[in-house]
Homo-oligomer: A and B are copies of this chain.
Amino acid sequence: MPGELIFIGAGLSRDDISLKALSAAKSCDMIFAEEYTSRLSDCSMEELETIIGKKINVLRREEVEEEEIPIEHALTKKVAFIVAGDPMTATTHISLRIEAEKKGIKTKVIPGVSIYTVVPSILGLQHYKFGRTTTLVYPEKNFFPLSPYYVIKENMERGLHTLVLLDINAEKNRLMTVREAVDILLEMENRAKNNVIKEDSLACAVARAGAEDSIARAGTMKTLREENLGKPPHTMVILGELHFTEKEALETLCGYREM
């Protein structure tokens, strides 16, 4: 009997999982998950196992992308692949889905609440005022890509905000903090010298989006660097031009005070 591969979004925090996702996960023969593209804010995989009532096998990147373990099992079984946030915001999962379809496996996507929508919503920023999104990665020796800087520049020139996603280093179990991100962004400015990001540039920081102890702050890069935001996951927004209702939202919801 041909199998099935269901991509399930678990959302960002505890109990963000939808009724549809829960019922699909319960109906599967095997459940896989990964934690290298995205992490739940306040809920462990063990807790998610308890909510679903089934064993979750957490895979490493090579097990998903090279060995294609979810596909292998989905050839004959009904398999769930669970990801924090929305399961298709990571391009690597789109490839996995196409690969499965090509092998004749029926696929399905059950969306999850995503950082793409939740962060603007938490901050009270207008969704249609966001330009393209970018991701900051941990620099390595001889690897310091400036592409996020130019995405921010392009958005800023159009008065648009930029959602800045922060890297996860799954092997080291290290999630980038806003403090680290500010340092990286300022170092980018230092190298590219286009006068895009300065210590007094306005930005927002969100820690543990969606969780009960979530924190949202707005201020200069310098003040955000000094904020005690607690544990990651963290996310940033580099602000473009603020509409007055956005300014009001940042003041009311994120402790923003104009300087």
Contacts and interface: CB of A to CB of B under 8 A. Distances in A.
Interface of A: 9, 11-20, 22-23, 51, 86-89, 91, 94-95, 97-98, 101-102, 109, 111-114, 116-118, 120-122, 124, 126-135, 154, 158, 160, 210, 245, 248-249, 252-253
A214 to B, nearest CB: 10
A128 B163 CA distance: 10
Contact of A126 (B18, B91, B248): B91
As for how many copies of this chain the complex holds, the number is 2
Nearest to A114: B117
24 contacts: A13-B20, A14-B20, A15-B23, A16-B20, A18-B113, A19-B19, A19-B22, A88-B120, A88-B122, A89-B117, A91-B245, A97-B253, A111-B121, A111-B210, A112-B113, A113-B114, A114-B114, A114-B116, A116-B127, A117-B117, A128-B133, A128-B135, A131-B132, A132-B160
A130 B112 CA distance: 19
Nearest to A151: B128
B111 A124 contact: no
Given A89-B121, A116-B116, A94 B18 contact: no
Contacts of A15: 18-20, 23
Given A15-B20, A129-B132, A131-B131, 12 more contacts: A14-B20, A17-B18, A17-B19, A18-B113, A86-B113, A88-B120, A88-B121, A98-B253, A111-B121, A113-B114, A128-B135, A132-B160
A16 B17 CA distance: 9
Given A15-B20, A134-B128, A245-B91, A121 B109 contact: yes
A152 B13 CA distance: 34
A63 to B, nearest CB: 20
Contacts of A18: 11, 15-19, 113
